A and B are shown apart, each in its own frame.
Chain A
Amino acid sequence: MSLSPLYITFGQHQVVVETAILDVHTTLMRWFYAMLEPQPSIIVRRVTIAQEAGNYIMKSGETVHEPIREQLWLLQAVKYEVVMALVRARPDLLWFHAGAAANDTGAVVFAAPGGGGKSTLVAQLCQQGWHYLSDDVLALDLTTGKILPFPQTPRVRQNTGELVPSDRLSQVPKFDVTLDLDLICREPLPIRAIVFPSFDRQTSAQILPCSPGTAALELLRSCINFTDHKQAAIQQVCNIVKHLPAFGLSFSNSDCAFKCLAQIGLTQI
């Protein structure tokens, strides 16, 4: 059976993923459905996935990776390759490990390390009618100060009710949140506010304002390609935090977190 290549697109750049393995193809389609284009444009990376002797073999560009036995690990490795290839294709942008959702007044950025609750909060907002930009990776245009959507499908970790160490986060099952295509944001948007979420099983939801200095450092910590820009990155981040509200949000329950965001007027559509 021949399966069509997946052209995963960010702006003009594409990563093409080719595989004859139906499960893998289907899952990747689900994970990137809002970023797929039917035709090739500027292909920056070609990823192929094959199966040999019960192992998955991924080739990214000219690099053949170590065989992977588990399909979930393979899929996560492919996702990482795709995202990083697109990030590297646009070094002019400042990339953040962050999610964002937007309403008519602009985007709210959620910046946090893995397990902080970015996807959970973004998905919650989108279920309330907000537009989706990304749940994990965001690009900032240094010239306009606007953020660019990277609408990979949000994947939310199940709340296990237990405290999970960071090195075991990847083992916690995630489920995909399928959004209507008309909720997917396609245009660069200005930032309206920045939230630094942190998931803590033992805390009740609390949101507190962040000083510009703290916000700047937190944002810079979330920056994926800081070394490409350094001073320019700091300058732009400083410009953002000087003029925008920033908050720290700790929560254990996404409904309560949503109420916290509502209290400060961030959830109005």
Chain B
Amino acid sequence: MPALSAGFWQGSYDDSTLCQSQPPEVQLLLCCARTFINAATAETIETLCYGDLDWSRLLSLAAQHDVTCLLYQSLQDTCPDAVPAPVIDQLRQDFQTWTLNSLFFTQELLKLLQLFEAHHIPVLPYKGPALAVALYGNLSLRPFCDLDLLIHPQDLVRVKPLLAAQGYDTLAVEDAQEAANLWSDSERDFVRQDGKVVLDVHWRITPRFFPFELPVEELWERRQSLCLLGTTVSTLAPEDLLLALCVHGAKECWGKLKWICDVAELIRVYPNLDWDRVLTQAKQLHSQRMLLLGVGLAWQLLEVRVPETVLAAIQSDGANAILPSVDRASPTVGGNRALPALMQQVYSYLFGSQPGQSRQFSPTLFRLRVRDRISDQVQYFVWRLFVPNVRDRRLIVLPKPLTFFYYLLRPLRLLGEKLGFIHRRILGGNSSDDRQRAATVQPEVDRVGNASTTARPRCKCVDVYDLGEELLIYSSDRELGITLNHSSKQIWQLCDGTHTLEDIATILSQQLGCAPGALLEDICTTVMQFHNLGLLESL
């Protein structure tokens, strides 16, 4: 039942500086990152396209934020003649690549859904193809690199052998030990043996340290249907999906514009959304600030129409702000109001022009600031620091009477990872959490970072000349010669289609005696440079 059928308001904060002095590339990207473009926006797009624009920066931003396809469609629909031919060619090529990728994943998803149905395992696909179709009406417009399924917790032990029979690998965990993992964890990753598909099987929407304790049964009861390549499938109800998207976005610090686009498209596609229910549920789940932040970003950056009551809630948030502003470098908007300050932080994080800007950003502090109450923050710390998960249990197998030692082990394990003595991958680091962590390390390389555990970059067949510490590469088809220093040479030699970026980080960290995490960012940057130079066959 629609709770708010009227009262939409499209104003802006009286003192908002969120989008002031945007570079034209950011302005254009924001105008194009939507499926519905009104006449005023179309005019702005055209004006920007004919203005002084750094097209390569625009392409780079679009790729960084996974909105290349939206950019392509919007430019094609509004002013294709204003776009330089090489730019539109590049966008078209990316669009086609993503379309093929989406079709491939969707077919795999449908195959898996059929399998689960045959074994009477209820499953809700969300994110990935379901999200693309539900919110964008088109598989091509919303890129994704893995599949996400939501199951009942007790079905995990049934799902594992089924997926194994389909050629999916996962952590080797005894079924008897899964009860503890089901309690502490939220998902398990399965990777198809050819490395082309990563399937995240969730039994919770978010990790335990983030509050979203909506039982799967309730989500299942409220599910909606949608049509994927001619097949009807179930997915989350829009109200649940909105909350899930906002919590997920907060967990990932809204590091990509595509996550804000998801919220904006959902609000646009479901004009009769039951906002009362969403707000009430968010309050019950202590996720109100996360919801309002997501909606506020969609409203501010993508001009989506939001009910007055929600806007009022956004503006009034922060009267009870718990933590002071984190981003001391840039003054917060609206004094001590929490949400405007958080939105300003997200904007800086998304589009900060200075290379070091994103590194000043503290994800942990941000995640604390988006929590509603002090007790939520304490809970976050306790869960993060002390509550063991599957990785802790894989590090050392303790007899049942000693399992309480895992609570002591976890902080040590985290410290070991930080210092590089323990590598997460060995313990099962294939979670989407890890992939996103890699992606948030450096947003500008996130097309690589996003695929850090799945991508197995393979170098093209080029002429290679060994210069001892260095390597000279000559690509005859591109008539391009480059030299690689010692580090880049090692990365290049591991880009053989069998090593993931994390593998490469692990191998090099062993040689250099440092933590793999410390190398991942540089490895991503280097591989991205190989990719941009056309030296990779696949990424």
Contacts and interface: CB of A to CB of B under 8 A. Distances in A.
B465 A235 contact: yes
Interface string A208-228: 000111101100100000000
A138 B349 CA distance: 53
A212 B481 contact: no
Contacts of B476: 230-231
B472 A234 contact: yes
Interface string B469-494: 11110101000011111000000000
A230 B474 CA distance: 9
A217 B485 CA distance: 13
Nearest to A238: B465
Nearest to A213: B483
A242 interface: yes
A41 to B, nearest CB: 36
B468 A231 contact: no
B14 interface: no
A216 B469 contact: no
A241 interface: yes
B529 to A, nearest CB: 15
Contacts of B470: 211-213
B334 to A, nearest CB: 50
B483 A217 contact: yes
B483 A214 contact: yes
A231 B467 contact: no
A213 B463 contact: no
A234 B463 contact: yes
A192 B485 CA distance: 24
A214 to B, nearest CB: 7
Interface in A192-218: 211-214, 216-217
B487 to A, nearest CB: 12
A239 to B, nearest CB: 9
Contacts of A241: 467
Given A234-B474, A238-B472, A217 B467 contact: no
A231 B465 CA distance: 10
Contacts of A242: 467-468
Q: Is chain A's interface secondary structure helix, strand, loop, or mixed overall?
A: helix
Contacts of B482: 217
A71 to B, nearest CB: 39
A231 B483 contact: no
Contacts of B466: 238
Contacts of A217: 472, 481-483
Nearest to A221: B481
B470 to A, nearest CB: 4
- How many A residues are at the interface, by size bracket? 10 to 19
Contacts of B485: 211, 213
Nearest to B483: A213
A231 B474 CA distance: 8
Contact of A234 (B468, B469, B481, B484): B481
Contacts of B465: 216, 234-235, 238
Contacts of A214: 483
B469 A211 contact: yes
A220 B463 CA distance: 15
Contacts of A234: 463, 465, 472, 474, 481
B467 A212 contact: yes
A242 B472 CA distance: 11
Interface string B69-95: 000000000000000000000000000
A149 to B, nearest CB: 28
Nearest to B474: A234
Contacts of B468: 212, 242
| A213, A214, A220, A230, most chain B CB atoms within 10 A | A213
Nearest to B471: A213
A213 B474 contact: no
Interface in B430-485: 463, 465-472, 474, 476, 481-485
Interface in B279-297: none
A241 B467 CA distance: 8
A213 B474 CA distance: 12
Nearest to A227: B479
A242 B474 CA distance: 17
A211 B474 CA distance: 17
A213 B484 contact: yes
Given A213-B472, A217-B472, A238 B467 contact: yes
Contacts of B467: 211-213, 216, 238, 241-242
Contacts of A235: 465
A220 B474 CA distance: 11
A82 B470 CA distance: 38
A241 B481 CA distance: 15
Nearest to A230: B476
Contacts of A216: 465, 467, 472, 483
B331 to A, nearest CB: 41
Nearest to A231: B463
A88 B466 CA distance: 30
Contacts of B463: 231, 234
A213 B472 CA distance: 6
Contacts of B484: 213
A96 to B, nearest CB: 15
A211 to B, nearest CB: 6
Nearest to A212: B467
Contacts of A212: 467-470
Nearest to A214: B483
A260 B291 CA distance: 67
Interface of B: 463, 465-472, 474, 476, 481-485
Given A211-B485, A213-B484, A238-B466, 13 more contacts: A212-B468, A212-B469, A212-B470, A213-B483, A217-B472, A217-B481, A217-B483, A220-B481, A231-B463, A231-B474, A231-B476, A234-B463, A234-B474
18 contacts: A211-B483, A213-B467, A213-B470, A213-B471, A213-B472, A216-B467, A216-B472, A216-B483, A217-B481, A231-B463, A231-B474, A234-B463, A234-B465, A238-B465, A238-B472, A241-B467, A242-B467, A242-B468
For the complex of A and B, list the 8 residue pairs with the smallest distance between their C-beta atoms, beginning with the closest.
Answer: A213-B483, A213-B470, A212-B467, A238-B465, A216-B472, A213-B467, A234-B474, A217-B483
